[in-house]
Amino acid sequence: MNKLLKLSSFALAVVLLASCGMGRGPQGDLVGAEDRPEYNPQQVPYGMVACPGGTFHMGQADQDIAASMANLNKQVTIGGFYMDETEITNNEYRQFINVMMEDSLDVLGEEFVMTQLYPDTTVWVKDYTYHMGDPLMEYYFSHPAFDDYPVVGVDWFAAKYFSEWRTKHKNQANTEEGMAPMPAFRLPTEAEWEYAARGGRDMSVYPWGGPYLRNGKGCLLANFKPGRGDYYSDGFTYTAPVAQYFPNDFGLYDMAGNVSEWCEDAYSDATVPIVWDLNPVYTDDAEPRKVVRGGSWKDIAYFLETGTRNFEFQDSARSYIGFRNAMIYLGRSSGREF
């Protein structure tokens, strides 16, 4: 009896020690928090392409014709990210507007949606003097013929609001399916945009790599203004449907021409020397000028160059400025995951 009592006492002591975190089982091991959402290796988001991280020379790739001294060369490193393969189209943006009109009017108010988020179609008339822009003002955003054209008439604030909605829209679906949330959709930083535009070709003048605007067959490689009074030699008078020209080596379309694109950064002539050389971004809430990149259908070739910097005021909507989204890649940045 005494021996049996001693064995029972020993067993009870073991149980008590284990319950205090001194055992070898799961209750005593560092196993991490339980009930975490399932997360598989990050998948390429729909409509995006992968831009593996790397190092490149950000800045001028050709002569600084304007003598701006605003984009001196600087070697920087960019972490891996995803970017929309095309600019956001009219029909994609219309999905956002439809949701705002159906679900958010009670919170935002119709005036806010129509004046701050809905594309300003009057830009086709206001941007140019003595120009017959009325047909585009009437049809560009409303008619299905333009569904696959890049959305314009959207200022920097509206582009950021769209990005926030897109994040919530995607992650609501992920939550319903028991999946971990995706990182936020956002505007690309200026450095990300330039890195993506070069497509892995360091110091390239244009996204397609070469210094020329035509291919071997004499065809223009982007939608821009080839010559004085000539907007049509590239095949389109105004904007073009997205993805009409060859993509760069990352698989991105229209990184030169068609429409210029909003970036996250505030604009400063001194950005390049003051930002860090790892994932640089310049933020300044007091600066109303925001970076736009890539050149547009109305611009000469200089503005199509990967190293040309430009800006527009954050509350200004234009007939030649659109945007696309980026998303950070969560994981190793070796590039082998892409």
In a domain, 2, yes or no: no
Whole-angstrom distance, CA of residue 139 vs CA of residue 93: 15
Those residues whose C-beta lies under 8 Å from the C-beta of residue 47, and which sit 6 or more positions away, are 84, 85, 86
Q: Is residue 70 part of a domain?
A: yes
Instruction: Supply the pLDDT for residue 28.
Output: 83
In a domain, 81, yes or no: yes
Other residues' Cβ atoms within 10 Å of the Cβ of residue 332: 10
Cα separation of 333 and 283, whole Å? 24
Residue type, 300: I
Q: What per-residue confidence (pLDDT) applies to 26?
A: 59
254-285: buried (b, 16+ CB within 10 Å) or exposed (e) per residue?
bbbbbbbbbbbbbbbeebbeebeeebbbbeee
Give pLDDT tens digits for 231-289.
999 999 999 999 999 999 999 999 999 999 999 999 999 898 899 999 999 999 999 99
pLDDT score of 25: 52
pLDDT score at 29 = 87
Residue 159 CB neighbour total at 10 angstroms? 26
- pLDDT tens by residue, 106-119: 899 999 999 999 99
- Structural domain including 154 reads 48-328
- Which residue in 237, 238, 259 sits closest to 304, CA to CA? 259
Domain contains 6 = no
Nearest-angstrom CA–CA distance, 175 and 39: 12
The total number of structural domains in the chain stands at 1
Kindly state whether residue 242 falls inside one of the protein's structural domains: yes
Residue 138: give its domain's CATH number. 3.90.1580.10
pLDDT beneath 50, residues of the chain: 1, 4-7, 10-24
Query: Is residue 43, in this structure, part of any structural domain at all?
Result: no
> In the numeric block, which tokens belong to residue 83?
């970017």
Instruction: Please tell me what DSSP assigns to residue 223.
Output: B
Does residue 16 form part of some domain?
Answer: no
Residue 197, pLDDT score: 97
Spatial neighbors of 93 by CB under 8 A, at least 6 apart, are 119, 151, 154, 162
| Burial zone of 41 (CB within 10 Å; 0-12 exposed, 13-18 middle, 19+ buried) | exposed
| 226-245 CB burial, b ≥16 within 10 A, e <16 | beeeeeeebebebbbbbbbb
CA distance 333 to 279: 12
Q: Is residue 10 part of a domain?
A: no
